[in-house]
Structure 1
Amino acid sequence: MAKSIARSGARLAVVQALYEMEISGKGVIEAMAEFETFWIGRTVEGIEHPPAETAFFRDLLRGVVEEQRAIDPQLDGALAQGWPLKRIEAVLRAILRAGAYELMYRRDVPARAAISEYVDVAYSFYGGDEPGMVNAVLDKIAREVRGAEFAGLPGSGKA
């Protein structure tokens, strides 16, 4: 299995696990164990859940939870004024948190690749404007925390 496919599966699983944790009140260890045992790479109720790179899944899930106090203000600053993160629907909030974590703490993943992956995750759940919003918010965060990756690109303010 290609590494990129396994990482895409990990990102989708992290978003689902974060949502499950928020709705059920489960802790990170319990959610991690449940997803690794019963969801990742399995067909559940007719829905096929893709395989995932376990170490990447664990890092993302643990990281989002551990760094949430730094991630949430970053997201609040990137969202439209009057729409704080707490007003965003739970699945969308999970997508944004996971994407922001990757941009802020996983410098080994190119910013554009991370943004594209989370836009794809958003398309897994939404058919409206939400994927575009994910793109805009994560792009704004990426330009703030990884400006060098965008230097000299159209729209970066530098030629």
Structure 2
Amino acid sequence: MSDETEDKGPKPLSGNQKRKMRSAARLYAVQALFQMEAAGQSSTRVKREFLDHRFGAVYEGDEMQEGDPDLFARIVDDAVNHQARIDQMTDRALVAKWPIDRIDPTLRALFRAAGAELVEGDAPPKVVIVEFVDIAGAFFPEGKEPKFVNAVLDHMAREAKPEAF
């Protein structure tokens, strides 16, 4: 076999493919954080389940999106490690009579995942906000939640990274 016909491994990902993988990782992180809270499972167990059984899995003929495993793990770990700080930021962004423990658990998981990126991540705050507003739209397609998420995350981003505004 000549050098020209040898398999050189997987092709490099395009910018669009990388963006889709990051978006999927963020969605999976929200789902994982929700599952951890709802089922009382550890982050190690839930991360392993997602990485082994959900990334790229096929369910009823539909293939799940491949996600960026490093971003997924980093968001989950940072959300767990910085949960108190993220929850306090979220509480300050919410109306006084609606502390984080009273909001929908899906939104709570979303705020924790987004907060992890705002506190520890390197993505620009506006990208984080847009990505997680899109995720809110996927979970609540008919509701006002995406606008609510946008407002809360904007407040959180201004607190976490004021230099970006």
TM over 0.5: yes
Could you list the per-position Cα deviations for residues 56-108 of structure 1 after superposition, in whole angstroms to 9, with x for gaps in the alignment? 111011110111011111110111110000001111110111111111111x2
- Picking from 130, 141, 162, the partner of 1:116 is 130
- Alignment partners' CA distance in 2, 1:115 and 1:69: 20
C-alpha distance 82-19 of structure 1, shift in aligned 2 (>3 A)? same
- Alignment partners' CA distance in 2, 1:63 and 1:46: 33
C-alpha distance 36-84 of structure 1, shift in aligned 2 (>3 A)? same
Give the equivalent residue in structure 2 for 1:86.
Answer: 101
- Alignment partners' CA distance in 2, 1:138 and 1:93: 12
Q: TM-score, normalised by structure 2?
A: 0.86
- Alignment partners' CA distance in 2, 1:89 and 1:17: 15
- Alignment partners' CA distance in 1, 2:25 and 2:137: 16
SS at structure 2 position matched to 1:80: coil
Aligned residue pair count: 149
- Picking from 29, 33, 46, the partner of 1:14 is 29
2:133 partner amino acid:
V
Give the equivalent residue in structure 2 for 1:132.
Answer: 147
Give the equivalent residue in structure 1 for 2:64.
Answer: 49
- Alignment partners' CA distance in 1, 2:32 and 2:94: 23
SS at structure 2 position matched to 1:51: coil
Larger Rg belongs to: 2
C-alpha distance 133-116 of structure 1, shift in aligned 2 (>3 A)? same
Moved over 6 A (4+): none
SS at structure 1 position matched to 2:98: coil
- Alignment partners' CA distance in 2, 1:16 and 1:28: 12
2:53 counterpart of 1:38? yes
- Alignment partners' CA distance in 1, 2:45 and 2:146: 29
Give the equivalent residue in structure 1 for 2:7.
Answer: none
CA contact (8 A) 2:58 2:64 kept: yes
Structure 2: tracts of 5 or more residues without a match: 1-12
Structure 1: tracts of 5 or more residues without a match: 151-159
SS at structure 1 position matched to 2:66: coil
Give the equivalent residue in structure 1 for 2:120.
Answer: 105
Q: TM-score, normalised by structure 1?
A: 0.89
